Amino acid sequence: MPGNTLSYIILNYNDSETTIKCINKIKDYKILDHIVVVDNCSPDGSYEKLQYLQSERIDVIRSDKNGGYGYGNNYGARYVAERFHSQYIIIGNPDAFIEEKDIIECLNFISSKEDCACVVPLMKDKDFKTNYRCVWRIPTYFEYCTFPLLIGNKIDFCYPERNITSSTPLLCECVAGSWLMLNAAVFKNIGMYDENIFLYCEEVVLGIKIKQYGMNSYLLPTSSFQHLHGVSVKKTFQSSITTSKIMWKSRLYVLDTYYRGTPLQKVYSRLCRFLGLTEKYVSELKNKNK
């Protein structure tokens, strides 16, 4: 068993019920040195509801503002770095549930693999079916613009299913942000999450940063976790149009900042945003009329 300090960060926003379920699942895991619940300035009284979880191993803290997914997790990462000097950190959604043996496998791997900045287990859905789209390569500019549209539904930058079902660790460029283990020093050195992104698209940016730093991310197909996809987000944003607007704002920022597209590419990305939001409006209107 590696003698490394490991902290588990869970970001809560208006969903104390799911967060409490997650904490109850992992609170007795011996592999975890510290668990930090970051309430992202929830207006629903979550912070007060979560206080009873406070213990010697569990800290419940509150961010100074709701700056989004990246801001809240960075807040937690800075906290564990300053207070516990953690060598490795887990960033897990409240609706992501994992067994201790799978955490141990991830820690054994990342602590023994010099080029590993990030490791993830295989993602399972609510019915424990494998999500083969949990890791992917960094998409091209065109792919990243077009993929959210109906005409882009055949674009696929995920790895072949045969690679994911293999027992061999898979080197990958981007990993889903619902559960990941990170080398804390590398995460700090690459600037952590980009806090200009409120929600969505953080995974591609993290993949770009890790690659530019000369490190890698890996999938461990022999370990897994269950993700009840979107439970917390759906409780906060009821409209698909609202979430689509947030997603496109983040996507355009990533394209402008990290891809640095040409003027013509920028025109194309704005056109895709217009088409994407139009599709959402039409879809929501049809659903209301059913």
* Segments of the chain assigned E as strands: 6-12, 34-39, 58-62, 88-92, 96-98, 116-124, 135-136, 170-172, 174-175, 179-183, 216-227
Which residues have CB under 8 Å from 31's CB, separation 6+? 1, 6, 100, 103, 104, 107
Q: Is the CB of residue 53 less than 8 Å from the CB of residue 94?
A: no
Q: What is the C-alpha to C-alpha distance for residues 226 and 197, in angstroms, rounded to an integer?
A: 26
pLDDT at 234: 56
Q: Which domain holds residue 25?
A: 6-236
Which residues have CB under 8 Å from 71's CB, separation 6+? 40, 63, 65, 193, 195, 198
Q: What is the C-alpha to C-alpha distance for residues 19 and 232, in angstroms, rounded to an integer?
A: 9
Question: Is 284 a domain residue?
Answer: no
**Angle in degrees, CA 137, 142, 148, rounded to 5:** 80
Question: Is 245 a domain residue?
Answer: no
Q: What is the C-alpha to C-alpha distance for residues 211 and 189, in angstroms, rounded to an integer?
A: 13
Buried b (16+ CB within 10 A) or exposed e, 165-181: eeeebbebbbbbbbbbb
Residue 262 tokens read as 């040409």
User: Which three-class secondary structure state does DSSP give residue 288?
Assistant: helix
Number of domains in the chain: 1
Question: Is 246 a domain residue?
Answer: no
pLDDT at 2: 44
**Angle in degrees, CA 95, 101, 103, rounded to 5:** 55
CA atoms within 13 A on the CB side of 248: 21
Interstrand relation of 34-39 and 135-136 (parallel, antiparallel or unpaired):
unpaired
Question: Is 278 a domain residue?
Answer: no
Question: Is 268 a domain residue?
Answer: no
Question: Is 162 a domain residue?
Answer: yes
Buried b (16+ CB within 10 A) or exposed e, 243-278: bbbbbbbbbbbbbeebbebeeebbebbeebbebbbe
Question: Is 114 a domain residue?
Answer: yes
Question: Is 193 a domain residue?
Answer: yes
Span between the terminal Cα atoms of the chain, in Å:
56
Mean pLDDT (10-residue bins), the chain, 290 residues: 79 96 97 98 96 96 96 98 96 98 98 98 94 94 96 92 89 97 98 97 98 98 90 61 94 97 97 96 83
Q: What is the C-alpha to C-alpha distance for residues 142 and 89, in angstroms, rounded to an integer?
A: 33
pLDDT at 78: 98
Q: What is the C-alpha to C-alpha distance for residues 157 and 136, in angstroms, rounded to an integer?
A: 6
Q: Which of 74, 55, 70, 66 is nearest to 15 (CA)?
A: 66
**148 C-beta neighbours (distance < 10 Å), count:** 20
Residue 176 tokens read as 């889903």
- Which CATH number characterizes residue 162's domain? 3.90.550.10
